Amino acid sequence: MSGPSTPKADSPPPEFYKDRPKRGIIHPTYRIAHVWFNIPSGAEDPHVHAPQYRHGLWVEKEAAGAGDLHHVIGSISQVEGMRYEIRPFDRNITNEPSFSKQSTIGYLSLSCYENLKEEFAECATPSQQKDWNESTNTTEPIDYGVQPPLFYTSSQLKNFQFPTLTTDRDFVERQLLPRVWDFAVSFDEYEDQLNGFFPVADWVPLGGGPLKFYPVVQWKPVGY
């Protein structure tokens, strides 16, 4: 089922903000949320603008809070870049020591989640964009668009005069989230479509599945 065009970050498309009652979802669903994790002090990337967080998509599958975290691991300083991982949790993600905040996006039918996992596995992950600069004894962004690859000058680095680095935030916002919205079920299609992604702005899970939410968290865009 094709949905709205790619939204900005984790914000719903404008048409989902319409002032109208929510519709109930009566079949099993999982909750899906964009999650932020704190980065340990001193581990921030000096070549990425602040504030910095680790990003992921959380799919809560059980009422007790267990679920799956979809994210990338590794580093953009490694030859292989970052790689996609599904990390299962037997507890709520909010119990993680580094957890910072989350924004509920909506609810997934169980079959839609299986389809999404296949889509996620095909997403492009952040490639290597930094390397060790022997002249400065630091890891720095490098221009692989020229041969041989060249490091940027100290002035360029200081003033961020180099292409913005693609990180785990970009992976979540530009790769995973658009694929979630591709499965969006519009407010008026419920009678014909029971499988898909149900945006939190329009839908309320009423039970009948592994998760029951009372009350449902209303959509509130979260800053970075």
Q: Which residue has the higher pLDDT, 221 or 127?
A: 127
Are 101 and 155 in contact, with CB atoms under 8 Å apart? no
Structure tokens at 64: 């007790």
Q: Which H, E and C letters describe 42-64, residue by residue?
A: CCCCCCCCCCCEEEEEEEECCCC
- Contacts of residue 23, defined as CB under 8 A and 6 or more positions apart, other chains included, come to 187, 190, 202, 203, 204
What average pLDDT score do residues 163-180 get?
Answer: 97
Q: How far is CA 70 from the centre of its chain?
A: 8
Q: For position 77, what pLDDT does the model report?
A: 96
What average pLDDT score do residues 32-49 get?
Answer: 96
Q: For position 2, what pLDDT does the model report?
A: 41
Q: Is the pLDDT of residue 176 over 90?
A: yes
56 C-beta neighbours (distance < 10 Å), count: 25
Query: For 76-89, what is each residue's pLDDT tens digit?
Result: 999 999 999 999 99
109 C-beta neighbours (distance < 10 Å), count: 22
Q: For position 192, what pLDDT does the model report?
A: 57
Query: For 211-220, what is each residue's pLDDT tens digit?
Result: 443 333 333 3
- Contacts of residue 50, defined as CB under 8 A and 6 or more positions apart, other chains included, come to 44
**Of 169-173, 203-207, 213-217, which gets the smallest average pLDDT?**
213-217
The DSSP output letter for 187 is G
Q: Is the pLDDT of residue 56 over 90?
A: yes
Are 30 and 60 in contact, with CB atoms under 8 Å apart? yes
Structure tokens at 187: 């407010």
Q: For position 79, what pLDDT does the model report?
A: 96
Q: For position 28, what pLDDT does the model report?
A: 85
Calculate the dihedral angle through the C-alpha atoms of 195, 196, 201, 202, rounding to the nearest 10 degrees.
Answer: -30
**Of 14-23, 67-76, 162-171, which gets the smallest average pLDDT?**
14-23
Query: For 104-160, what is each residue's pLDDT tens digit?
Result: 999 999 999 999 999 999 999 999 999 999 999 999 999 999 999 999 999 999 999
Helix, strand, coil share (%) of the chain residues, nearest 5? 20, 30, 50
Q: For position 22, what pLDDT does the model report?
A: 75
Q: For position 189, what pLDDT does the model report?
A: 65
Domain ranges of the chain: 14-123+168-205, 130-164
Pairwise CA distance, residues 199 & 28, whole Å: 15
Are 26 and 207 in contact, with CB atoms under 8 Å apart? yes
Q: For position 49, what pLDDT does the model report?
A: 94
